[in-house]
Amino acid sequence: MELKAEETKEIHGVQILTHMKLANIHQGLLMNYNVPILKKVIKNHLL
């Protein structure tokens, strides 16, 4: 799980995929806390 308090950009998605590959994890979440409705900005990443 990667937590951000800023606008998420494409590089953040690449960063979480790299962390997942290095840790041999098959599912990850990228969450941005800088929004009024958290449900709309949770992104699921799969390897």
pLDDT digits (tens, 9 = 90+) for 1-47: 666 677 778 888 899 899 999 999 999 888 887 778 776 777 888 88
Please give the biggest Cα pair distance in the chain.
33
Helix, strand, coil percent values for the chain (each to nearest 5): 40, 30, 35
Output the pTM of the full model: 0.69
